[in-house]
Structure 1
Amino acid sequence: MTTTSAVAEPRTRGGLRVGIQKVGTFMSGMIMPNIPALIAWGILTAFVIDVGWTPNAALATMVGPMIHYLLPILIAVQAGRMVYQDRGAVVAAIAVFGVIAGSDFLIAQFNAGLAEGESELGQVHMFIGAMIMGPLAAWVMKHLDRLWKGKIKAGFEMLVNMFSAGIAGFGLGVLGFYVLAPVINWFMSVLSGAVGWLVENGLLPLTSVLIEPAKVFFLNNAINHGVLTPLGLAQSETDGKSILFLLEANPGPGLGVLLAFTFFGVGAARATAPGAAIIQFLGGIHEVYFPYVLMKPALLLAVIAGGATGVTTNVLFQSGLRAPAAPGSIIAVLFQTAGDSYLGVILSVILSAAVTFAVAAPILLASRKRDLAAEAAGADGFGAAVAQTAANKGKASSALSGLTAAGGAVLAPTADIRKIVFACDAGMGSSAMGASVLRNKFKAAGITDIDVTNKAIANLDASADLVITQQQLTDRAKQRAGSAVHVSVDNFMNSPRYDEVVNMVLEQRAASSVDAEPQPVPAAPDGLSGAEVGAPATRAEARAAAAAEAESGVGNGDRVLVPGNVRIHSGSVSRDEAIREAADLLESAGAVTKAYFDAMLAREQTVSTFMGNELAIPHGTNEAKDAILASSLTVVRYDGGIDWDGDDVTFVVGIAGKGDEHLALLQNVAILFSDEEQVAELKKAETPEELYALLKAIGED
């Protein structure tokens, strides 16, 4: 059970798309179990043929029979087993041998009639023949057995079973020899001619227009296993390599999309993209990037451009693989790369990833604000895309289910939730603000007996029932508190996961017959009035308050936030420049040593301090406690905005916390910045003094 928003399961519909998917899935089922045999054949050709690494004329005699007889028969056996178990497998093997022999006989006759000096036809390897005759033969055997099922006298079952399968195999072998073999020979000739025409006219990159979208909708198996693999193997036998193996298997386009989401995505999609990139690029499971494309159909342009770039590169360098790369991992691709093709293949992967990234980035940036707004409203576009991808595939996928788990779905706990801990690296900044936001959500829902605290990950223990961390820190938190329910968030300020946690607790209470009727939202948390939590009613009042404070001498050095640590800049700076200014202000206030700046930068390398609602709160790591001399806050508004690792930031709140005295202040900061109307008021302040007056509640104990 999860508390994520329900996503309606897409209804399965018939039609051409579903039919192609079924055919492709069946073809994949015939080919994939036999990939080890294809790899073995690829290794053999790499070493022993006359242009191989270690030529061996004796061992080279294995190369031809393996590709011509062994591999098609293995495919037929697998197909027969899928249709009618072992009995279907045996009959399929017999029948496909008839197709192979019939093809060889026709080619021998054709070559015998050629005039002297004319080019002879080479062998046609019956991969497509095996994928047709294998399941057909097993299906025929299955239905023949049904004719006499229950009609055989006791003691004659084995005799009938053996002879019926033998006779069926003989008849189907003859059928394959005379009927199917000429059809397959003609079909392979047409396919080879079509591919040759594309290559000769420089049009092979255009195949990406078909292949890349087909992959996303799981329509690629029919193309890959039904066309590219058979043609590629035939080409590889004569040339030692084939570019056709790279048309679909290139991991570059998928990597480019996932990198774009890593830098410019939002929410769960951004949080899961780095892990998905590792699975896709190194593990070869391409389907993990399909939901990201389905989220933004315009990204089909990116993968098409990337795929076409990769094909063009391989065409220019005349590079290829010796055998299919399955799965489509960079490891498998490099393992099967022909000896003279490493430069071209590596460049094709790099350039296809780069082009895909370059096209995808502006597409994501163009809709970033809308996506952030939808995320804040609780929309789960990524979850819907994952569900649609699973529906397109037509069966369960552990790789796809892993994306939703990593995206921060809140799992129902096995025990009552009583203690929730927000954990971050240092335990003094972002986690304190997140705890404050969730604490107020619980109050609004009428839940007052949940203990919501914050601490450093290093201080986690088994007492927590639920632990909330930023996505990049979840694995570390699980090591410290393995028995707790763990929730991953993209930022601590306005994550939709908070509402899921609240709903989960409410459902838990309801299931336990505990009154969970929501109560009216308190006017302000912790007994503070609305004026104390928020801003003065008007900017004129703020100016008057600022002047009154200046006259009364408010803002002396014992305050955690003083007027001198509040600034406004009209322009923009880089992230590191903003951190430098925050560190300098903290140092000038006597709160930190010079070493604190480096600790603040180190914190950003671990996980971003972007909080949402245009706020970042840079602070040091847990190891930098010695660099903190006193508690202090700084607030700088950059009207030109800051690119904070892909997020838009206007307010930078620098933090140094000695003990816990700053935590109450951060709670008020969190409350203030969780309200977009109050953030808008802060952006209207015309002077640092006015901004300080609007923020004054965070300086009060």
Structure 2
Amino acid sequence: MTASADTTQTGRVRVAVQKFGSFLSGMVMPVIPALIAWGIITAIVVNIQEFYGAWTPADALSEAIGPMIHYMLPLLIAVQGGMMIYQMRGAVVGAVATFGTIVGSDWLLGDEGQIHMFIGAMIMGPLSAWLMKKLDALWEGKIKAGFEMLVNMFSAGILAFIMAVVGFFLLAPPINWLMEVLGSAVRFLVDNSLLPLTSIIIEPAKVFFLNNAINHGVLTPLGANEASGEAGKSILFLLEANPGPGLGLLLAFSIFGVGAAKATAPGAAIIHFLGGIHEVYFPYVLMKPALLVAVIAGGATGVTTNMLLDVGLRAPAAPGSIIAILLQVATDSVVGVILSVILSTAVTFAVASVILLSSRKRDLEGEDKFGAAVSKTAAAKGKSSSHLSNLAAGAAAVPATAAQKISTVYFACDAGMGSSAMGASVLRKKFAAAGIDDVTVTNKAIAALPGDADLVITQKTLTDRARAQEPEAIHVSVDNFMNAPEYDDVVELVRSAGEEGGSASTVTEAPADVVTQPEAAPQTATAVQTKNQILTLNQIRIHSEAATQEQALQEAASILENAGAVTGEYLQAMRDREATVSTFMGNGLAIPHGTNEAKAAVKASALSVVRYDGGVDWSGDQATFVIGIAGVGDEHLEILSRIATLFADEAEVAKLNNAATEHELLQMLSAVNEG
């Protein structure tokens, strides 16, 4: 196997672990507030009983502690896991199956204690929902009218019963065994003073966003079991959450760093330490991998301090802010936890300072690699992050000058049909307004970049892939496709390069390279009619309430399917696209569309337009308009260009937001149907 193949295989494993960890995080993170509530109730009861002795209200409230951790929290995780796979139908079946697993575990253990079924919930919730989804697909469209509810109710009830039995007899025994093995391993590490060695795994895993599988798959379940016992706390909640190593690293950069890294480090330190957003320090490690030694040393110091002083938290601290940690710290652990944060900060600072000082001369003479490190971090995360974007904004996103004249510009995205088409349209308009000559602007799929680009613009999470395709080009990363501030910098860059090279012609719009495009068909009357019907009144909706991203995707796919543009498989293709890269464009607009592999699910070109006045949380960004796209050939690209022109103008967006009816929206968007 070649080195290239090894690298590819390693990347696949990393992405697989990331996806698994992200899925676990998606199940556990929404339930963290309930864990915090449980920790608060536990703390109140324990403190009252410790300082005031027996008190009837506190004794009565203590009855809630056991059922919350043993039943409520695992069931909430199961519900969330089921919702992620198959909405409420999957959530209900997953909860029943998990309850069977909990009771099965208790039946096996008898009077020997309890194991809280967090891991069981993470398995049974999504598994049961997935089975429910597959069963429903078997008889979809085959049930006689009037019997749909009967079949739906009884099929879910029967499957829930079967999965509860499976959980009781088949899943509970191995999970009991697994939890006992993991618990014994932790006890062995603690008894032999080896727990600090976990920092060798956890700290590098954090930098590459691989920690969720460890944290939510192992540490949270084990920590919850330990905290529910006599100790009332767990050191395991502190293994990953300690903000000391990140703070020490950022303080070192604030004093001994150079360039953009030094300029952005103080602000990042505040966000990291008080806000608990650890990912902001990851780029600083990636730009100088030797700094892994510093964060590992600091992490191990914190763990050692916590272990020697026998301290811990009552519940997970999420996010890993010093504020969240102090709110969850056990009463007898306040001083010890604060000391562990201070010492881990100091050790990381000391080691990082030595590393930075030893290479300071080379760093001052060489290029500033911080911007590339931010892009690498965003790519490692696998989705957009406003916090990383803010760091990138603090670095030089666009070079001030170009070595040669810029005449070929590609706006690239994963498929080359959605975000890149709209971004290219906005950029052409800016070039034209600036009077820039002899520049060709083309939207392409990253995989189709031909290698002749002078300038390539991509989403931040895709820049590394584009750079591999176009190593000689200037690369610019953007987040907001409608009015990215980097566009103005690009205009100035191209203008200055043009003045040096000299030219006199017009901006050229090259044919788009759409990887989902079949062989071109003759432009018949039928094709023209299809184009004219790309957006109708039936494909426009206005909702006063908010919606989840999943609900918005389902509605967009449903509208397109009802319009005869796509088959039922297109919804999953939309989900797959979002899992790869967000389709949020900026200015409140998201344009969900399918992946390259979904071209068979597209039957005709069409748009769906839905305005959610309550907003949609679109992978961390706030969308108001969700415009679903189905495109055959390239006939939808001109429409995307018109939409981009509309949404790039904030005054036009305000008018669209103020439209009272769907008919008004159609009139404002009528340009998209004009040939």
**Unaligned ranges ≥5, structure 1:** 1-9, 112-120, 413-499, 520-701
Q: CA offset at residue 411 of structure 1? A: 10
Q: Which residue number in structure 1 is paired with residue 226 of structure 2? A: 235
Query: Contact conserved, 1:76 with 1:96, CA < 8 A, in 2?
Result: yes
- SS across alignment from 2:140: coil
Q: Which residue number in structure 2 is paired with residue 67 of structure 1? A: 69
Q: Which one of 265, 272, 282 corresponds to residue 257 of structure 2?
A: 265
Q: Which one of 383, 399, 408 corresponds to residue 371 of structure 2?
A: 383
Q: Which residue number in structure 2 is paired with residue 43 of structure 1? A: 40
Q: Distance in 2 between matches of 1:20 and 1:158?
A: 39
Q: Which one of 177, 181, 205 corresponds to residue 214 of structure 1?
A: 205
Q: CA offset at residue 374 of structure 1? A: 1.6
How is 1:404-483 mapped onto 2 (pairs within 5 angstroms)? 404-409=392-397
- SS across alignment from 2:501: coil
How is 1:188-587 mapped onto 2 (pairs within 5 angstroms)? 188-238=179-229, 239-375=231-367, 380-409=368-397, 504-508=491-495, 515-517=499-501
Q: Distance in 1 between matches of 2:225 and 2:215?
A: 14
Q: Which residue number in structure 1 is paired with residue 20 of structure 2? A: 23
Q: Cα distance 1:128–1:80, how it changes in 2: closer, same or farther (>3 A)?
A: same
The percent of aligned pairs where both chains have the same amino acid is: 69
- SS across alignment from 1:322: coil
Q: Which residue number in structure 1 is paired with residue 565 of structure 2? A: none
- SS across alignment from 1:387: helix
Q: Which one of 142, 153, 159 corresponds to residue 168 of structure 1?
A: 159
Moved >6 Å (runs of 4+): 10-13, 500-503
Q: Cα distance 1:12–1:396, how it changes in 2: closer, same or farther (>3 A)?
A: farther
Q: CA offset at residue 95 of structure 1? A: 0.5
Q: Distance in 2 between matches of 1:325 and 1:170?
A: 36
Larger Rg: 1
Q: CA offset at residue 16 of structure 1? A: 2.4
Query: Contact conserved, 1:258 with 1:274, CA < 8 A, in 2?
Result: yes
Q: Distance in 2 between matches of 1:506 and 1:138?
A: 52
Q: Distance in 2 between matches of 1:18 and 1:132?
A: 20
Q: Cα distance 1:274–1:155, how it changes in 2: closer, same or farther (>3 A)?
A: same
1:33 matches 2:24: no
The amino acid that maps onto 1:45 is: T
1:123 matches 2:107: no
Query: Contact conserved, 1:390 with 1:397, CA < 8 A, in 2?
Result: yes
Q: Which residue number in structure 2 is paired with residue 100 of structure 1? A: 102
Query: Contact conserved, 1:47 with 1:53, CA < 8 A, in 2?
Result: no
Q: CA offset at residue 315 of structure 1? A: 1.0
For normalisation by structure 1, the TM-score amounts to 0.56
For normalisation by structure 2, the TM-score amounts to 0.58
Q: Distance in 1 between matches of 2:266 and 2:256?
A: 12
Q: Distance in 2 between matches of 1:129 and 1:505?
A: 57
Tell me: higher relative CO, structure 1 or 2? Use CA pairs within 8 A at least 6 residues apart.
1
Q: CA offset at residue 509 of structure 1? A: 6.4
- SS across alignment from 1:154: coil
1:91 matches 2:79: no
Query: Contact conserved, 1:12 with 1:391, CA < 8 A, in 2?
Result: no
Q: Distance in 2 between matches of 1:96 and 1:262?
A: 49
The amino acid that maps onto 1:58 is: A
Q: CA offset at residue 517 of structure 1? A: 3.4
Q: Distance in 2 between matches of 1:503 and 1:172?
A: 57
User: Per-residue CA shift, 1:364-415, capped at 9, x if unaligned?
Assistant: 111111111123xxxx411111111111111111111110012243599xxx
Q: Cα distance 1:167–1:367, how it changes in 2: closer, same or farther (>3 A)?
A: same
Q: Distance in 2 between matches of 1:248 and 1:217?
A: 14
User: Per-residue CA shift, 1:308-358, capped at 9, x if unaligned?
Assistant: 000111111111111000000000000000001011000000000000000
Q: Distance in 2 between matches of 1:135 and 1:502?
A: 46
Q: CA offset at residue 362 of structure 1? A: 1.1
Q: Distance in 1 between matches of 2:138 and 2:489?
A: 62
The amino acid that maps onto 2:277 is: I
Q: Cα distance 1:53–1:298, how it changes in 2: closer, same or farther (>3 A)?
A: farther
Query: Contact conserved, 2:371 with 2:397, CA < 8 A, in 1?
Result: no
**Unaligned ranges ≥5, structure 2:** 1-6, 401-486, 504-675
The amino acid that maps onto 2:167 is: G
Q: Cα distance 1:302–1:15, how it changes in 2: closer, same or farther (>3 A)?
A: same
Q: Which residue number in structure 1 is paired with residue 132 of structure 2? A: 141
Q: CA offset at residue 48 of structure 1? A: 1.1
Q: Distance in 2 between matches of 1:300 and 1:53?
A: 44
User: Per-residue CA shift, 1:84-109, capped at 9, x if unaligned?
Assistant: 1111111110110000000011011x
The amino acid that maps onto 1:287 is: E
Q: Distance in 1 between matches of 2:201 and 2:49?
A: 34
User: Per-residue CA shift, 1:117-164, capped at 9, x if unaligned?
Assistant: xxxx21000001001111111111010111101100111111111111
